[in-house]
Amino acid sequence: MSKVLIIGAGGVGNVVTRKCAAVPEVFTDIMLASRTLEKCDQIARDIGDDRVKTAQVDADNVPELVELINKFKPDMVINVALPYQDLTIMEACLETKTHYLDTANYEPKDVAKFEYSWQWAYHDRFKDAGLLAILGCGFDPGVTGVFTAYAAKHYFDEIHYLDIVDCNAGDHGKAFATNFNPEINIREITQNGRYWENGKWVETKPLEINKPIEYPEIGPRDSYLLYHEELESLVRHFPTIKRARFWMTFGKQYINYLNVLQEVGMTSIKPVNFKGMDIVPLEFLKAVLPEPSSLGEGYKGQTSIGCQIRGIKDGKERTYYVWNNTEHAAAYRDVKAQGISYTTGVPAMIGAMMGLTGKWTGKGVFNVEQFDPDPFMEALPKYGLPWHEQIDEPLPVEK
Ligand code: NDP
């Protein structure tokens, strides 16, 4: 019996709204609000359930958010707008005494840098207000944190090596498109890589380290070492980790396009003056690229995301690999979305369900690996994300 306000009517917002609407026993009232009202209305019309209300909101504007929250009175806000809006939405939740969940950590618009410090700084204020904030509850971050917590709870005394592997072996038929918000995606890929080793961060040039990694049902794919936000929280919450890395696959064509765009300056976030107007090249690029939500129809192939772990159990070395594969076409059949939006939106709904049904409790700001992984792992296959595990087999990332 809960009311949720979902903010952001993009690729992920569509999935979260449909998935919440499909669980009426938990989500009794749903509002989808975003910058462009028509996108909310379109999704609500498609769902065709009068429990789904819509509204226009500028999530950069705290008073506007507060007014909307006070009017609708949700128990929780699910933030699937952009990382730029995390802090304004958290402020509004504090002011209105509302629980909070998001899928990506805060990033200032004018610096391509993401880290948890800004959101972790809200811990005491959420704690004092008796509120729960769940950070990074998509797939990665999100399920990857739950996978790691599950491994730590059931299979390891100490985790020593963690490799998160993220493969998209899909084909959307477009020459160049990103699977989630192009601006955020390109900022993430074009910045320096980073991984954790022996108590410190090791920095690499963008996409400098790469190798083929074998993915279940897919085969080998070129995988690139990137910095990814869950590394920061996982090495903090599992301090036995000696090395933590994140790998993502990219095709040759994608990298070629990205290199050209970078070399001609189109990925820059520094404004340029054009005909008397200041334009941010990356924002302009986003405007001409396909929207992530438009890629679903006809998208073939699958994604495979998982955690490959080496550590110690009862004094013996152990390996563990846990993963999910998602077919883009199956995601489209289920909720008219491509696999990346799907693998993000389903966990966001499940995380909200965990918080609203009291399976995950706490006062303050938490990353997903801090909660009991079991009820979340149980819910994943039920809502569309089956997972598989392999114990004491050679890890593909180490081959
Ligand atoms: P989209 O660009 O498709 O959607 C973002 C939506 O947010 C758009 O509808 C946009 O409105 C809306 N929005 C942007 N700014 C504002 C604002 N100021 N006020 C209100 N609404 C706003 O992105 P995705 O759906 O692909 O991604 C959503 C979030 O999910 C991002 O934060 C992304 O980083 C995260 N993500 C997390 C993943 C994970 O595994 N953890 C994986 C993939 C994504 P408009 O339509 O008007 O532009």
**Ligand 1 centre from 8 Cα, in Å?**
6
pLDDT at 322: 98
| Ligand 1 nearest atom to the CA of residue 85, by list position | 18
Residue 12 CB–ligand 1 contact under 6 Å = yes
Residue to substitute in 5, 6, 7, 12 for testing ligand 1 pocket (most ligand atoms within 8 angstroms of CB): 12
pLDDT(384) > 90:
yes
Atom of ligand 1 nearest to the CA of 139: 40
Q: What pLDDT shows up at residue 188?
A: 87
What angle separates helix 328-335 from helix 339-356, to the nearest 10 degrees?
A: 60
Instruction: Supply the pLDDT for residue 264.
Output: 96
Q: Whole-prediction pTM value?
A: 0.97
- For ligand 1, whether the C-beta of 345 sits within 6 Å is no
9 lines ligand 1 (CB under 6 A): yes
Q: Does residue 110 carry a pLDDT above 90?
A: no
Selected residue with higher pLDDT from 316 and 188: 316
Distance CA 327, CA 300 (A): 7
Nearest-CA residue for ligand 1 atom 34 is 104
CB 318 within 8 A of CB 156: yes
CA 397–ligand 1 middle distance (angstroms) = 31
Confidence of residue 1 (pLDDT cuts 50, 70, 90): confident
Q: Give per-residue pLDDT as tens, 4-31.
A: 999 999 999 999 999 999 999 999 999 9
Tokens of 107: 């990033």
286-338 pLDDT, tens digit per residue, is 999 999 889 999 999 999 999 999 999 999 999 999 999 999 999 999 999 99
Rounded distance, CA 55 to CA 57, Å? 6
CATH code, residues 143-335+386-398? 3.30.360.10
Fold classification of 2-135 (topology level): Rossmann fold (3.40.50)
Q: What is residue 114's predicted lDDT score, i.e. its pLDDT?
A: 82
Choose the residue to mutate in 180, 229, 246 for probing ligand 1, maximizing ligand atoms within 8 Å of C-beta: 180
Tokens 């438009």 found at: 294
Asked whether 351 lines ligand 1 (CB < 6 A), one says no
Q: How far apart are CA 317 and CA 315, in angstroms?
A: 7
Per cent of the chain over pLDDT 70 is 100
Per the prediction, the chain carries an average pLDDT of 96
Same fold, 2-135 and 143-335+386-398: no
* Interval between CA 83 and ligand 1 midpoint (Å): 8
Mean pLDDT (whole number) for 377-398:
98
Q: Is the pLDDT of residue 396 over 80?
A: yes
What is the mean predicted confidence (pLDDT) over 43-67?
97
Atom 1 of ligand 1: nearest residue by CA position: 10
The pLDDT value recorded for residue 181 is 87
CB 141 within 8 A of CB 233: yes
Alpha carbon of 152 to ligand 1 centroid (Å): 31
Listed by start position, the domains of the chain span 2-135, 143-335+386-398
pLDDT of 375: 98
Task: State mean pLDDT over 61-80.
Answer: 98
Give the model's pLDDT for residue 111.
Answer: 80
pLDDT band per the 50, 70, 90 thresholds, residue 386 = very high
Tell which atom from ligand 1 comes closest to the C-alpha of 183.
2
3-class DSSP string for 196-255:
EECCEEEEECCCCCEEEEEECCCEEEEEEEECCCHHHHHHHHCCCCCEEEEEEECCHHHH
145 lines ligand 1 (CB under 6 A): no
pLDDT tens figures, 113-172: 889 999 999 999 999 999 999 999 999 999 999 999 999 999 999 999 999 999 999 999
Q: Could you tell me the distance, in angstroms and rounded to a whole number, from the CA of residue 332 to the centre of ligand 1?
A: 18
Cα(10) to ligand 1 centroid in Å equals 5
pLDDT at residue 112 in the model: 75
Which atom of ligand 1 lies nearest, measured to the CA of 61? 18
Q: Which of 234, 389, 217, 249 is nearest to 308 (CA)?
A: 389
